[in-house]
Amino acid sequence: MPFRNNLEALSDLTNDLPRFEKSLVNLAEKLGLVLENLDADHISLRCHQIATAERWKQGLMQVGKLFSEKMINGRPICLFQLHEPLSVGPWRIEVVELPWPGNKLYRHEGWEHVEIVLRGDPATLGARAMALLSDSGLLQPGISFKTSAPQGEGERLPNPTLAVTDGQITIKFHPWSLQEIVASEQD
């Protein structure tokens, strides 16, 4: 059980994790991506309603520590360091990202993406991430890519992102961990 306290506030997330893991493994296989060789930094949620985000926030505060809450791209995003890591695929992930609902409606409320840290020059992130994917994976129907550079107030590290999705879940690549990004704001 992902959250040992079996919290009612997080029961939908506990029930959703097996679906997310299966989808993650399927997407990785399509892309020719070897998950065991990658460093997963955090897992992220998506929801449609503010009440859901607030319920999840209260639940996550019982199983972890809120270490950042700020406005990014016009909406609040909370970051939690879990007291006990979540087992997701080959990883034990200690950080959960909880964005409040934005303008985009997602198909599913629950776990939505995992973020991978690819250390190195931020300017070459996209090329380094694409090099991990098989050519046949890049040509799969329904697979799409998006680049962005989200930035919170006070962040000093460039944080480009390459996101790969099949429309169900997403794998994102960044050059820094969330803890490094948050620490850069303190310097």
pTM of the predicted protein model: 0.91
How high is the pLDDT of residue 42? 96
Positions of the chain with pLDDT under 50:
none
Ordered strands of the 161-165 beta sheet:
64-72, 75-88, 91-99, 39-46, 110-117, 170-174, 161-165, 144-148
How far apart, in whole angstroms, are the C-alpha atoms of residue 70 and residue 51?
Answer: 18
SS3 for 154? Answer: coil
How high is the pLDDT of residue 140? 80
Structural domains present in the chain = 8-186 (3.10.180.10)
In this predicted model, what pLDDT tens digit does every residue of 7-24 receive, in sequence order? 788 999 999 999 999 999
How high is the pLDDT of residue 182? 82
Can you read off the two tokens belonging to residue 86? 């979540």
